[in-house]
Structure formats: C-alpha cells, structure tokens
Structure 1
C-alpha cells in the first residue's frame, strides 16, 4: 500500500512479524470458512507475511487461486513463505488498498485482516474491495477493537500503554477501535444493510507459552518497531515511558495468573 494510504503504526519489525506469522485461517478468519469452496479465487488485501494467504491457498481453495497484496518488502517474505510450503496456486503483488490494481469483478472473495484500522480512509478501501469482488461474491474483513481488550492482572503501566497505543494509532491516521465500526463504514461505502453479516471473534492468551510470547512481543514492539518513533514524535510517550510500559508487559508475561483477550469485529458482505 502506498505512503498516501496510511502510516502503518507497527511497521514490519521482527517483533511485529512474530505475531503476524502466527496467524492462520483457523485463528484469524474462521468466520469465513463456511463460505469457502475449493475452486474459489481470493484476494487477501494487506496480506503481511502471507501465512493466512498461504493457508487459504493450500488448505481451503486448492483448486482455486489466491492473490496477496501488500508493500514490496513484505510480499517478498510472503513469497518465500508460500514457496517453503510448496504452495503454487498463489501470487503476491504490491499495491494500494485505496486503489486496488485489479479490474472490476475479479475475485470470488475479497478479504482483509487487521487492515482497515490502519488506513486513513477505510470507507474507500471497502469501496475498492467491493469493486473487485464478483457479483454474488463476498467481501470479508476482521478488525481489532482496541478498547475492548481485557487483561489480568491490572499491572501498573498497561492502562497507560492502552491509552497511548490508541493515541499513536490515531496520530498515524488510523482508528484502533475499528471492530465496532465495520458495519457503519460498509454502509457509508454503499453496501446495503441487508447484505451485511456481523460477528465477533476473539484471541485469548493465558498459557505459559502464550504469556511469554504475547508479553515479549509487545515489549519489543514498544521499543523497536515503528511505534516508538511516532510515540516520541507526538509526545505521547517519552523514552522512559516506553521502557516502563515495555517492562509492564514483561511482568505481565511472567505472571502465572496473566490472561488477555482481544475482541475482533467481523463483517461479511454479499456483493
């Protein structure tokens, strides 16, 4: 996606890809599984390192074809991942979600996972997703709703992190509470209300392995990803503040009673 479309809050630091590479169709797009058929064509907008994209191609549409779209550096990683799995019914290309580089009515399903929350004009992205979907096809998107995130215990610094994260995301032109807005954005984009199906999905982290992974990657994101420069530039955090909230996440990850749940709004629209 182009520089004009958004400033991705996290960037593609290793700490970010660590979480993105964990994502599969089952844990991140299960709401779409009942609609998948083996010979479908799918566009995955904002495909990241390609784990969901490759999973679609390998396990859900093996007689079809999947196209992943993102910025050039990350699509290179996605190609490598698909090749490592021996998946060939897949293509990766770079482009802008605000102006998708495909003809009208090109795909059976147009999918995006955690994309609309980061773009400056989610309504326009939804218009484009609808444009390139075939008549009778589906547009599907799943977005985090940051304010609905719940954790335990209430370690000092995590609430500061939560409010600071929202401020940084909005400073970058995004909307971190996207999940609750999907149906509103879709109607603004011209989707009829009766074409929309809404649902909710969750992630829950609580095992020792989950806690160490989730707490550690957030500590690293705060200090090493694109998050830090924006936070410092806008005065949302000081360097000392970033270090304190990173340490809060490490303490959370080490607590045997720690638990964290993320809520995601999900939307399927029939075209």
Structure 2
C-alpha cells in the first residue's frame, strides 16, 4: 500500500503507519519549508527506530505535489481544525484527488474542544478551555471540527454512501497519562504559537496564561484527576 499522511508533524503516527505496511511506502507532509525542522525530526525518529519505508517532505495540503490516484490511503489527524473557513473543504477535495479511485480510503479524525471534560473542577482549566476556543477562532480555525467533518466531506464531493462516521475517545487517568497530558498543555500554553496568538488577539495576558499552566499542573497532582476527549472520525471509501 501507498499511504499519505497530510500534516504529519513530528511523524509519530506516520511511522506507526509505516510499521503496518512493511511492504508498502508511507509519505508524510508538512505545508511549507518553515516546517523543515519538524520534518527533519521525523526523519531522525524513523532512522532511530529502523523504519525505512517512510519519507517526509514539504507538501501544501491545498495543492499536494502528487498525481491524481496516487495513494491507497490518505490520512490526516487533528489537522483540519487548524485551517480557516472553507479551507477544510479544499483540503479534503485535494485529498480526494490524490487517493486511488475506486477503492481508496480517506481517513480523518478531529477533536471537539467544546465536548472535552475533566475532573476535579478547575477554574484555571475552565479559563484555558474558553481561551483556547476563542484563540483558535481568532486564527480562523474551528476547534469543534469533529462535529463538522461529515459536512466538510460532503461539500468536498465525497459520496455520502462511502462515508463511515464514528466517534472516538481518549481518557487520561493513569498517572503516566496525566503527566504527559498536563505537561504537554502547560508547556504549550506558555511557550508555543498558542502563547503568541492569545496575546496577539487579546484572549489572554501572559499572566493569565501562566495561571492556566499552573492549573494544569495542579490538576495532574489530584489522585482522582481524569480528562476525556471526544473526536469525530471519518473513513471515506471513494
């Protein structure tokens, strides 16, 4: 099989896909040359793990540098929520162009921020939750992309009869999972493009963001801490 992973980031999922098709080939793309450092990180991770049937390259999701009918599977995970307005439809249409027809599969998953839930209650995390959604929308994205996936796919011209819709969930409750999840978010809040966007759009001050990061760390320390995430998922057979 030939598989394309659109918006592959550091390549962790891409590499896992490559393991599943040892006789096949997997390609991971990021949209611009500015992402070359993360693509190099992905290449190094693959080399360290001895995965040789995967390549990483620049590829604009709105104009993928591949011929029609090139891939058995085209995959995107937590990507469409970050692109603006009608662009998710354009990207899905481009994914449809490069997947093989008939018989190819487009596979996408997006979370639904509004439906995230956690315990114990935390004012700081509630503020983070609202801030993230406001900031994502100020950047032109759709943080509740999971619920809109089917609508986007239909607008992209993917036949309804070929679309399987499901909901997936993540649960972070073990100590290791809580530490990973809380550390990831605490760091992202105070030292990422989210930080810059929140301050730029006025959805939070730096002091606000530091308090939100501290709230994530406090949540992790609670013995009964629990966090749930809901995702919309599509498998589209074209």
Same fold (TM over 0.5): yes
Does the Cα contact within 8 Å between 1:145 and 1:178 map onto a contact in 2? yes
Question: Is 1:57 the equivalent of 2:23?
Answer: no
Q: What's the counterpart of residue 124 of structure 2? A: 157
Where does structure 1 lack aligned partners over 5 or more consecutive residues?
1-39
Q: What's the counterpart of residue 43 of structure 2? A: 79
Q: What's the counterpart of residue 111 of structure 1? A: 75
| CA positional deviation for 1:240 | 1.3
Q: What's the counterpart of residue 184 of structure 1? A: 151
| CA positional deviation for 1:112 | 0.5
CA displacement 1:156-182 (0-9 Å, x = unmatched): 111111111001111111111000010
Q: What's the counterpart of residue 26 of structure 2? A: 66
Question: Is 1:259 the equivalent of 2:218?
Answer: no
Q: Among 110, 113, 119, which residue is 1:146 paired with?
A: 113
Moved more, 64-73 or 110-119: 64-73
Q: Secondary structure at the match of 2:23?
A: coil
| CA positional deviation for 1:195 | 1.3
| CA positional deviation for 1:95 | 1.6
| Distance in structure 2 (CA, Å) of the matches to 1:270 and 1:41 | 15
Over 6 Å off, 4+ runs:
none
| CA positional deviation for 1:42 | 0.3
Superposition RMSD in Å: 0.9
Q: Secondary structure at the match of 1:157?
A: helix
| CA positional deviation for 1:249 | 0.6
| Distance in structure 2 (CA, Å) of the matches to 1:100 and 1:47 | 13
CA displacement 1:77-123 (0-9 Å, x = unmatched): 11111111111111111121111111100000000001000112100
Q: What's the counterpart of residue 171 of structure 1? A: 138
Where does structure 2 lack aligned partners over 5 or more consecutive residues?
none
Q: What's the counterpart of residue 9 of structure 2? A: 48
Q: What's the counterpart of residue 196 of structure 1? A: 163
| Distance in structure 2 (CA, Å) of the matches to 1:103 and 1:222 | 39
Q: Among 239, 243, 246, which residue is 2:206 paired with?
A: 239
| Distance in structure 2 (CA, Å) of the matches to 1:244 and 1:234 | 18
| Distance in structure 2 (CA, Å) of the matches to 1:106 and 1:253 | 44
| CA positional deviation for 1:55 | 1.1
TM-score by structure 2 length?
0.95
Q: Secondary structure at the match of 2:105?
A: strand
Does the Cα contact within 8 Å between 1:213 and 1:253 map onto a contact in 2? no
What are the within-5 Å matches in structure 2 for residues 89-128 of structure 1? 89-120=53-84, 121-128=87-94
